[in-house]
């Protein structure tokens, strides 16, 4: 309870605050009596200390040191009977108490002994705690009853705002507004919303309740913020309430605490229902794509809830998070807590992919199989534009990287018209994804039907490719290593920029004349005209083989 409330007890009727009056809003958790000079070692935060000052009579200077230690320990205050042994409190102690807002209470006029003051104060604190417990149970029961009657989180937010007479806001884990009280429907409240998001953005997720203060002078009416985190098996966001001044009682915080608990339970229930639905969906697609469903009628019957129908075309996409050094442990040696964390992380990735994909695809379903995210895309008649879709999917990969620091690659299968052929489309999507990884690519979109020249190279024995590469660049072998790499890099960029000298010089960060000098030297060494179509093709092919050899582990050759 607050110290000023405790002092309202009749036992403190004749008590007088002689310093640190601004600290009367400190919380009192317990009351203690000092009877030894080393009492500071036995005090706890939130304790009010009672003393008659006997051991400080001969050395009043000790009181200043005690005062500072108690403030550092976050004790509540000091109640002292100065007239019992003629203790004089130095002015330096009173000034320090005013400076740090540490209450010093003169209780010489109190008729009761220190023991009786301790007993009555403790009784009042216990009664207050019992009242708070009863209040918390009542509030919890009220919110729980609302959920049992079918009301949702918006109704809880509305009821909470009425109880507190304050604007209430519910933010998700990404600080996106999920629910709010009626107050925020007024345009003049929008700056308050922006200020709250600004305070929380860029900070790590808070695990415990906190009190914040908004510094914008235009927000004085709601500058004090009570914040309570929302948790399920992961951090879900925050419940915030705004007021003009700090709450004078614990009931305000207790109401918010119970509301956050009930909201957490409601979110847990929703997630359980969602997880069960997702598990059924994953099991269906695992059976269908694994070949365990052999009847089209059964597939359409079970897949009806996922949009499968007799007419129409579909294709499947396989998505996977690229491997990074941040998660080097193979699954066989991961500890149990790592599995739980990976499950939570996979859910987050699932939702992020789904959110971004909804911007480019009107109708699709997502599921998971092992470490893959499967995407069933519905293709309308005459509406399928593979090029435009692949471009949009590439933008999804880039947005995931830029906004969420997440590297995801996509493999795309061919459209099919039979539900049983979805297995074929998913196999093609997996092969396309695997092919992209074999090329050493990252954050890519690979269509099964788009096979580049590297696909043909992989049909040629690696020894033949190595021989072609070595013969093409044999003329550079006699050069020193640094010069050889410089000339070959210039030649590669020259062909990559379609033989444009200006663009080549820009990418190499050298003068145009330097590029001309290097290319002339290449022509002298090879005895060939670099812009001749046949010779140009040979060098381009050799550079393509070089990349293939690098991904195959033959880096010593290049």
Tokens of 495: 């062909």
The pLDDT of residue 330 is: 39
List, in order, residues 6 or more apart from 292 with CB less than 8 Å away.
Answer: 286
The pLDDT of residue 185 is: 86
The pLDDT of residue 454 is: 66
Q: Quick one: CA dihedral 520, 523, 527, 528, positive or negative? A: negative
Q: Across residues 11-29, what is the average pLDDT?
A: 88
Whether 333 shows a pLDDT value over 50: the answer reads no
- Cα–Cα distance measured from residue 26 to residue 418, given in angstroms and rounded to the nearest whole number: 72
Q: What is the domain partition of the chain in residue ranges? A: 3-126, 151-270, 291-451, 457-557
- Cα–Cα distance measured from residue 37 to residue 55, given in angstroms and rounded to the nearest whole number: 7
Q: Across residues 358-384, what is the average pLDDT?
A: 84
Range from 127-131, 179-183, 287-291, 424-428 carrying the lowest mean pLDDT: 127-131
The pLDDT of residue 382 is: 63
Name the CATH superfamily housing domain 3-126: HprK N-terminal domain-like (3.40.1390.20)
> Please, are residues 491 and 499 in contact by the beta-carbon 8 Å criterion?
no
With b for 16 or more beta-carbon neighbours within 10 A and e for fewer, the 130-140 pattern comes to eebeebbeebb
Q: Across residues 398-417, what is the average pLDDT?
A: 90
Q: Across residues 271-277, what is the average pLDDT?
A: 86
Q: Across residues 320-328, what is the average pLDDT?
A: 67
pLDDT band at 439 (very low <50, low <70, confident <90, very high): confident
Tokens of 411: 């493999």
Torsion of CA 181, 184, 186, 188, to 10 degrees: 150
> pLDDT tens-digit profile of 373-405?
999 998 876 667 888 888 999 999 999 999 888
Bridge partners for 170 per DSSP: 179, 239
Whether 5 shows a pLDDT value over 50: the answer reads yes
Whether 220 shows a pLDDT value over 90: the answer reads no
Range from 159-173, 237-251, 315-329, 531-545 carrying the lowest mean pLDDT: 315-329
The owner of tokens 């229930």 is: 269
Tokens of 376: 């069933």
Tell me the DSSP string of 388-419: HHHHHHHHHHHHHHHHH---EEEEE---BSSG
> pLDDT tens-digit profile of 46-71?
999 888 877 777 677 788 888 889 89
pTM of the model: 0.54
Whether 273 shows a pLDDT value over 80: the answer reads yes
Q: Fold for 151-270, please state it.
A: Beta-Lactamase (3.30.450)
Half-sphere exposure of residue 357, counting CA atoms within 13 Å on the CB side? 22
Query: Which contacts of 178-183 are long-range, i.e. CB under 8 A and separated by 24 or more positions?
Result: 178/153, 178/237, 179/153, 179/154, 181/157, 182/158
- Cα–Cα distance measured from residue 49 to residue 36, given in angstroms and rounded to the nearest whole number: 12
Angle (nearest 5°) at CA 39 between 35 and 42? 125
The pLDDT of residue 56 is: 73
Report percent pLDDT > 70 for the chain: 91
Say how many residues make up the chain. Answer: 558
Within 235-306, where are the H helices?
A: 250-289, 296-302
Question: Considering the domain 457-557, what is its CATH architecture?
Answer: Orthogonal Bundle (1.10)
pLDDT band at 317 (very low <50, low <70, confident <90, very high): very high
- The pair phi, psi for residue 81, each rounded to 5°, is -95, 90
For residue 526, the Cα-to-chain-centroid distance in whole angstroms is 56
Cβ atoms within 10 Å, residue 334: 13
The pLDDT of residue 556 is: 44
Whether 309 shows a pLDDT value over 90: the answer reads no
The pLDDT of residue 340 is: 40
Whether 484 shows a pLDDT value over 80: the answer reads yes
Range from 204-218, 259-273, 493-507, 529-543 carrying the lowest mean pLDDT: 204-218
Cβ atoms within 10 Å, residue 9: 15
Tokens of 187: 């345009």
Whether 326 shows a pLDDT value over 60: the answer reads no
The pLDDT of residue 250 is: 74
- The pair phi, psi for residue 372, each rounded to 5°, is -105, 145
Question: Considering the domain 291-451, what is its CATH architecture?
Answer: 2-Layer Sandwich (3.30)
Tokens of 467: 């021989």
Largest CA distance in the chain: 114
List, in order, residues 6 or more apart from 189 with CB less than 8 Å away.
Answer: 167, 183
Q: Across residues 192-200, what is the average pLDDT?
A: 83
């Amino acid at each position: 309870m607050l110290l000023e409330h405790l002092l309202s007890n009749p036992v403190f009727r004749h008590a007088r605050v002689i310093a640190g009056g601004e600290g009367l809003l400190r919380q009192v958790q317990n009351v203690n009596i000092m009877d030894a000079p080393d009492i500071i070692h036995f005090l706890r935060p939130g304790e009010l200390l009672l003393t008659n000052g006997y051991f400080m009579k001969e050395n009043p200077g000790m009181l200043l040191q005690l005062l500072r230690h108690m403030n550092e320990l976050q004790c509540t205050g000091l109640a002292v009977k100065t007239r019992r042994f003629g203790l004089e409190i130095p002015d330096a102690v009173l000034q320090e108490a005013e400076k740090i807002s540490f209450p010093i209470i003169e209780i010489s006029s109190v008729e009761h002994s220190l023991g009786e003051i301790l007993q009555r104060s403790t009784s009042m604190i216990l009664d207050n705690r019992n009242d708070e417990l009863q209040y918390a149970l009542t509030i919890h029961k009220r919110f729980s009853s609302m959920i049992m009657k079918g009301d949702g989180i918006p109704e809880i937010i509305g009821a909470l705002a009425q109880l507190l007479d304050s604007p209430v806001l519910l933010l998700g884990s990404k600080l996106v507004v999920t629910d709010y009280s009626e107050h925020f429907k007024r345009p003049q409240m929008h700056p308050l919303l922006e200020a709250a998001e600004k305070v929380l953005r860029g900070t790590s997720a808070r695990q415990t309740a906190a009190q914040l203060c908004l510094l914008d002078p235009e927000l004085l009416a709601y500058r004090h913020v009570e914040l309570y985190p929302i948790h399920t098996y992961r951090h879900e966001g925050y419940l915030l309430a705004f007021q003009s001044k700090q709450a004078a009682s614990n009931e305000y915080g207790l109401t918010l605490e119970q509301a956050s608990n009930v909201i957490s339970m409601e979110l847990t229930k929703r997630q359980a229902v969602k997880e069960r639905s997702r598990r059924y969906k994953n099991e269906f697609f695992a059976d269908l794509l694994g070949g365990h469903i052999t009847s089209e009628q059964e597939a359409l019957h079970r897949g009806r809830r996922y949009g499968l129908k007799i007419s129409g075309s579909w294709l499947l996409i396989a998505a996977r998070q690229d491997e990074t050094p941040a998660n080097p442990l193979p699954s066989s040696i991961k500890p149990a807590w790592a599995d739980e964390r990976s499950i939570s992380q996979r859910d987050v990735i699932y939702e992020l992919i789904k959110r971004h994909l909804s911007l480019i695809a009107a109708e699709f379903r997502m599921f998971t199989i092992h470490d893959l995210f499967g995407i069933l895309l519905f293709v309308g008649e005459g509406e399928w534009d593979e090029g435009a879709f692949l471009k949009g999917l590439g933008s999804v990969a880039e947005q995931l990287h830029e906004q969420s620091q997440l590297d995801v690659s996509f493999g795309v299968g061919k459209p099919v018209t039979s539900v049983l052929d979805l297995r074929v489309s998913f196999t093609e999507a997996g092969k396309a994804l695997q092919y992209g990884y074999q090329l050493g690519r990252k954050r890519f979109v690979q269509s099964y039907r788009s096979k580049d020249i590297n696909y043909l190279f992989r049909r040629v024995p690696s020894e033949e490719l190595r021989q072609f590469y070595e013969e093409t660049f044999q003329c550079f072998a006699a050069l020193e290593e640094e010069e050889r790499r410089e000339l070959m890099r210039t030649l590669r960029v020259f062909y990559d920029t379609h033989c444009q000298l200006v663009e080549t010089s820009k990418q190499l960060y050298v003068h145009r004349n330097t590029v001309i000098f290097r290319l002339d030297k290449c022509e002298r060494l090879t005895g060939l005209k670099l812009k001749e179509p046949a010779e140009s093709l040979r060098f381009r092919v050799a550079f393509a083989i070089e990349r293939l050899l690098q991904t195959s582990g033959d880096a010593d050759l290049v």
